[in-house]
Amino acid sequence: MRGALALGAALALAVVACAGGGTARDQGSSTTAAAATTTSSPEAGPTLVWTPCGEAECAVLRVPRDYGDPAQGSFELAVARRPAERPDLRVGVLVYRAGGPGLGGTAGLVTGGDRFSVDLRARFDVVSWDPRGVSAGSEIDCVDDPDHFRGLDPTPETPEEVTALEQRARSFIAGCTERSGDLLPYVGTVASARDLDLLRAALGEEQISYLGVG
């Protein structure tokens, strides 16, 4: 439900902005002990403590709520990893973004789905995460009805269609502000991109490969 609603939020913000009604703010060492593995950047930075979970390993990445003001606290983002099945052939890390906005990526790795080819699983550590706005403690909630935008033309061609879509978008934004207004300034593309770079550092990698699904 939250995935569909977050997608609606993105549409809502785009519609209102285009209509002139408002704007939105942008927002390798390892040690093993008792079934837990720790990875971290060679320089001082975030650390991931991996523990078994389903078909994967899970950890928590702590990221600043506001990169410009660390005093605002932090979010804890869920991360999952399936190590390369052929370590002798390992190329590196592939970070997978499940889509959205509003969708988490860890569940697909934990349940062991076969969305990746045999060759890819052999050669890459496949990693995914639940972004800010989705991970527990940072969820954005806007409306109860997951079909809030159903029945509306997403590419309006008449004044009536534009008005209907804009009105629904404004009501959606009002719900987001009422229910999650304290979180909205800290959830956006720029912040999420910086989270991804922190994840790279926490994995102890200078570079990663990235696969995003819309």
pTM: predicted TM-score of the whole model, two decimal places: 0.73
- Alpha carbon of 147 to those of 116, 129, 179, 180: distances in Å? 31, 26, 18, 19
β 209-212/92-97 pair status? parallel
- Alpha carbon of 48 to those of 23, 37, 38, 59: distances in Å? 36, 8, 6, 6
pLDDT in tens, 68-109: 998 999 999 999 999 999 999 999 999 998 876 678 899 999
Query: What is the DSSP code string of 60-77?
Result: EEEEES-TT-GGG-EEEE
Supply the pLDDT for residue 86.
96
214: helix, strand or coil: coil
Residue 165 belongs to what H/E stretch?
A: helix 159-180
pLDDT per residue as tens, the chain (214 positions): 444 444 444 444 443 443 333 333 333 333 333 356 666 554 556 889 999 999 999 999 999 999 999 899 999 999 999 999 999 999 999 999 887 667 889 999 999 877 889 999 999 999 999 999 988 888 888 888 878 888 898 899 999 999 999 999 999 999 999 999 999 999 988 999 999 999 999 999 999 999 988 6
